[in-house]
Structure 1
Amino acid sequence: MTDLLITGGTVADGTGAAPRRADVAVADGRVEAVGDLAGRPAARTLDAAGHVVTPGFVDVHTHSDLTLLSEPRAHSAVRQGVTTVVVGNCGLGVTPVAADREALRAAAGYLDLDPAVRWDWSDLPGYLGALGAARPSVNVAALVAHIPLRAAAAGFGDRPAGAAELDRMRGLLDDALAAGAAGVSTGLVYAPACYAREDELETLGRAAAARGRLFAWHVRDYADGLLGSVRQALRVAASTGCRTQISHLVAVGRRNHGSVARALELIDDARAAGVDVAFDIYPYLAGNAPLSQLLPAWAQEGGEGPMRERLADRAVRARIAAGWRDMPHSWDDITVSRVPDGAGDVTGRTVAAIARGAGTDPREVALDLTAAYGNGVQMVAGGRSERDLLDALTHPAAVVGSDGQALDPDGPTGRGVPHPRSYGCYPRLFAEYVRRPGGLGLAEAVRKCTSAPAERAGLTGRGVLRPGAVADIAVFDPARIADRATFTAPQQYPDGIRAVLVGGRPVVEDGAHGGARPGEILRIP
């Protein structure tokens, strides 16, 4: 007997095909049939009349590496329809663990929201084992991050990696790819990955290409140097043959508005020449990152400890502050979203407002916070262009990735004022960019959230509704689906999500999490 029959819904199957009225039968964790299934015997029936039935959303860009160990129910992700997440993005990751475990943990402060989470692993199999033991509600695939690779092979210094160190990095990466990693990621604004030369990036690209895996890029500069940074990613993609994903393709700062269209032209030219490149994007006009990302690379050398010590030097601070005079951001665009342990009264306020209240310079505020709390201080940074966002979202090579984290508003990971994308990315896409006149079509929007990101990450059998596919399914009301999370009140779940199934098991019904934790740890063969 069919385990679950979803009846009367409009099926958008994830392929981009036109939505159609159809029933969906689920048995043994897989899609059994899609079509007119009236009268089919089933242990349970879900009436989806007036709803859209889609594959569960595949979030190809997340930073849930550690938050899933803090709260494996993945509340903020699964309640918005996400059934599969990819961790290890932007070069930020938790494996392999170098000899200096604490230095690596400090470098990954952006991920490390719950001090109670123990790092008991040394390599990818150990980390995936810890995730499996936690039994998350969502499926998880992992990229190998550049920062721990470089830290393990070459430390945290500002210097090129030598031949032996490049061999060490490649060996560590290949071991992780052999163990099932979906690919590798770099984050060229974060130390020590920011010290990598192009030959190091080519080493990573060749390793990924040899196994047909993904190379995801947080490029070197999203502001004045965006086009040069995209060109570098495309050069490495062309020279190594690796499948390449440019992360969160945006232009930072008002003076750079319009740069995304020019970056898309570069991507189109590369794709026409046979380069396998695409990109991800989220539907917001602000991003989220460590405040330390604003520091120049030389100030971050040696890891978090030396960086914080360096910021006690008045001459160093003056040099950094002088460089910040020509920032693409305004300090009114930068909000402090999280401080470790909730210290101070700055969370939720702009750097400019904090400075005005203290009668000081915004640059001094930013330096003081980074000196005190290192990589653990997070910011939300705005000032982006709606036109750039629309250009990116509507491009055929775009997929949707939240760049968020699976958070628990009632636990340690939900503290502060996090970016609302962690709670509302996918509902916002459908409410603001599908429902609006002239927006994305429903079928194309679903494809960008399901089969397209699954294909980029190499996750076969995910992101589609067809017989034999894994029954990861989202059911939502197209007229009601909407994000409720805002920049000032982000810990709010969305409206309009009727049901979310992971591996055929209901996890969310009528907006409530039922406690099921059926997610799989996905290893790429």
Structure 2
Amino acid sequence: MSESFDAVIRNGTVVDGSGSEAYTADIAISGGVIHSIGKVEGTGRTEVDATGKIVTPGFIDVHTHYDGHVTWGDTLRPSTHHGVTTVVIGNCGLGFAPCKPSQRDMLVTLMEGIEDIPRDVMTAGLPWKWETFPEFMDFLSSRSFDADVAVLVPHAAIRVYVMGERATSDGIATPEDLEQMTALVAEAVRAGAIGVATSRHYLDCGSDGKQAPHVKANREELLALARGLKLANGGIFQVIPRMVDFLAQEEIGKLGQEQFVKEELDLFREISEVSGRPLTYSLMDSSWVPGLYAHALRETQRVNDEHGTRIKPQVFPRPIGMLIGLDLSVHPFKFHPSYMQIKDLPLAERVAIMRDPEFRKKLLSEEPDNEVAGPLGMVHVHLSQQGFQLGNPPRYTLEPERSMRFEAERRGVSNFEVALDWLLEMDGRNLYAAPGGNVGSPTLDDCGVMLKDPNAIVGLGDGGAHSGFVSDASFPTTLLGYWARDRKGEGKISLPLAVNLLSYRNAEAFGMADRGLLAPGMRADLNIIDFARLDTCLPETIWDLPANERRVTQHAQGYVATMLRGEFTSLSDQSTGATPGGLVRYKNAA
């Protein structure tokens, strides 16, 4: 009698996540795990013909900010539009636990200022049914999602929980404070936290304009967090480093890139040695310090080789920056006096007014109101004047002829005039990109160098954050479509490596031993992909957050199916509505 299975995927091209070459096989699934791979003689209650399609593990996005979404909703989009079956939240030291009732507004202010999640959304959406981190984990364990969720315990929440108002004032943690922070990290990991997260990025400020409390942390405080991982014997240390900070350029100029990077990596080495755990830090080719990433890659390799540490730069496969649009948080006319008079009108009415020749002339003659914009607003205005047309479907390379500057010079007009024309296309729904990182090469060669580094993992999609001007959670589709399929020449990345970067490499780094690989006994989290048809769709604005607030989302085409825990969550690029996902608790802690 032939064996029966929950599902059998037939004749797919298996790219198993290990980095090994693809092969053709059937995959049998039972009880939410992979039963066997090869020639499956039995039958499945569901049979899927994957002939001509690639079958991959579900993708693991280790850098998201769905910290609020997991408390009020069950869909983690747009990440799950792009083959993601596991997300990690709590990144950059931001989150909502632990938190005393009197401190809730402090954490909301930080998330609003740093991650562009409107206060109204959090006020309406967060249920606050927890105080301690274990209570937060217990709350999440009662919920279900269309992806699994792992949680980093956020440094900002720990600091505020321990120090209260002192966390944002004097900035110095006492020995007693440090002892409590160590205990809280250990408690969190023992409750299932995947690690601890912090940031050294000086531009991280709350919506009140004050620098984020965890950015003030000194070496002793960071080592106190590391000791918490050591006590619990588990987790990873995630950090946003100074080397991606715009405000660090003066310091880098004084020290030189090589010495600056060495000092940063020395700190990371010490953290990793004290914790005995892996450490991951974000890395990009910064436009304000070009080439620094190459020093970081070399120094990371040296430190790992000489000290046995597991330090992993977290890199990104395309430019990092903002989307610019009339319905988004950022565009170059946002703080022009004429525009501010019409900013609250419906989009169609604004577009009609902005197309009027007299209004257009007046708008283009004005300067932004610096006082209203504030320092960060003026940075955004500046960046929004240096854009690239995305196109539809979007393309993330940076050929000069697609730039605002090129178009302005070709037409003999200002960048502002080009920006206005771009914004009014598609009845005001057009978007363009204003990248600030990974912009060193029109064909993204620097990204390719980072992706191919043996220590690198892929992250920084920021799903759930910057809801008014970022849609980078679509990066898995870019990594596969551009780098593994469309890219030509030496810079091309093999399909097995691309899938490895999206799955097993991240699972291994974050201690998720049950996923990221297509093999018997592993979780039945997988994608069936029409590789030839795979592409991103143009980002769009939707209004589905609590308090009827806006966010940017982005669909994809070519995902024939996505399966989570043996259940299909997506078919033919459309959600099935299934939510078999839940909380992932770290399992190797003492």
Candidates 380, 393, 405, aligned match of 2:463 = 405
Cα distance in 2 for residues equivalent to 1:496 and 1:334: 37
Candidates 212, 216, 235, aligned match of 2:238 = 216
The answer to whether the Cα contact below 8 Å between 1:136 and 1:519 also exists between their aligned partners in 2 is yes
Shift, 1:380, TM fit: 6.6
Q: Give the 3 Å change call, closer, same or farther, for CA 382–346 of structure 1 in structure 2.
A: farther
1:431 corresponds to: 481
Aligned-partner SS, 1:148: helix
Matched, 1:512 2:566: no
Give deviations 1:308-364, integer Å, cap 9, x for gaps: xxxxxxxxxxxxxxxxxxxxxxx999999xxxxx976899xxxxxx99674246686
Candidates 213, 221, 225, aligned match of 1:200 = 221
Q: Give the 3 Å change call, closer, same or farther, for CA 380–173 of structure 1 in structure 2.
A: farther
Shift, 1:24, TM fit: 0.6
TM-score of the aligned structures, taking structure 2 as reference length: 0.71
The answer to whether the Cα contact below 8 Å between 1:66 and 1:117 also exists between their aligned partners in 2 is yes
Give deviations 1:138-171, integer Å, cap 9, x for gaps: 1111001111111112222242211001011111
Give matches, 1:226-265, under 5 Å.
Answer: 227=261, 230-253=264-287, 255-265=288-298
Give matches, 1:447-486, under 5 Å.
Answer: 447-486=500-539
Shift, 1:104, TM fit: 1.8
Cα distance in 2 for residues equivalent to 1:275 and 1:463: 23
Aligned-partner SS, 1:500: strand
1:71 corresponds to: 73
Shift, 1:248, TM fit: 2.8
- Return the letter of the residue paired with 2:27: V
1:298 corresponds to: none
- Return the letter of the residue paired with 1:176: A
1:299 corresponds to: none
2:436 corresponds to: 382
Q: Give the 3 Å change call, closer, same or farther, for CA 238–128 of structure 1 in structure 2.
A: closer
TM-score of the aligned structures, taking structure 1 as reference length: 0.80
Cα distance in 2 for residues equivalent to 1:34 and 1:515: 28
Give matches, 1:80-91, under 5 Å.
Answer: 80-91=82-93
User: How many residues are matched?
Assistant: 457
Q: Give the 3 Å change call, closer, same or farther, for CA 75–145 of structure 1 in structure 2.
A: same
Candidates 387, 395, 419, aligned match of 2:453 = 395
Give deviations 1:378-406, integer Å, cap 9, x for gaps: x9752532333222111111122243225
Shift, 1:120, TM fit: 2.2
Higher Rg: 2
- The CA RMSD measured in Å over matched residues stands at 3.2
Give deviations 1:37-91, integer Å, cap 9, x for gaps: 2x42211111111111111001111111112333312231112100001110111
The answer to whether the Cα contact below 8 Å between 2:86 and 2:147 also exists between their aligned partners in 1 is yes
Give matches, 1:268-283, under 5 Å.
Answer: 268-273=301-306, 274-283=308-317
The answer to whether the Cα contact below 8 Å between 2:172 and 2:217 also exists between their aligned partners in 1 is yes
1:323 corresponds to: none
Deviation larger for 83-92 or 474-483:
474-483
The answer to whether the Cα contact below 8 Å between 1:54 and 1:473 also exists between their aligned partners in 2 is yes
Q: Give the 3 Å change call, closer, same or farther, for CA 218–229 of structure 1 in structure 2.
A: farther
Cα distance in 2 for residues equivalent to 1:487 and 1:515: 21
Give deviations 1:258-315, integer Å, cap 9, x for gaps: 11111101111011111111122222212369xxxxxxxxxxxxxxxxxxxxxxxxxx
Matched, 1:186 2:198: yes
- Return the letter of the residue paired with 2:61: D
The answer to whether the Cα contact below 8 Å between 2:152 and 2:194 also exists between their aligned partners in 1 is yes
Aligned-partner SS, 2:82: coil
Shift, 1:241, TM fit: 4.5
Candidates 106, 110, 117, aligned match of 2:109 = 106
1:359 corresponds to: 367
Give matches, 1:18-57, under 5 Å.
Answer: 18-37=21-40, 39-57=41-59
- Return the letter of the residue paired with 1:46: V
Q: Give the 3 Å change call, closer, same or farther, for CA 368–89 of structure 1 in structure 2.
A: closer
Give deviations 1:189-228, integer Å, cap 9, x for gaps: 2311111110111111122133131001111241424726
Give deviations 1:455-498, integer Å, cap 9, x for gaps: 11111111111111110111111112122245999633011111
Cα distance in 2 for residues equivalent to 1:282 and 1:44: 36
Aligned-partner SS, 1:516: coil
Runs of 5+ unmatched residues, structure 1: 290-330, 337-341, 348-353, 371-378, 408-412
2:354 corresponds to: none
2:426 corresponds to: none
Give matches, 1:114-193, under 5 Å.
Answer: 114-115=121-122, 116-118=124-126, 119-154=128-163, 155-189=167-201, 190=204, 191-193=212-214
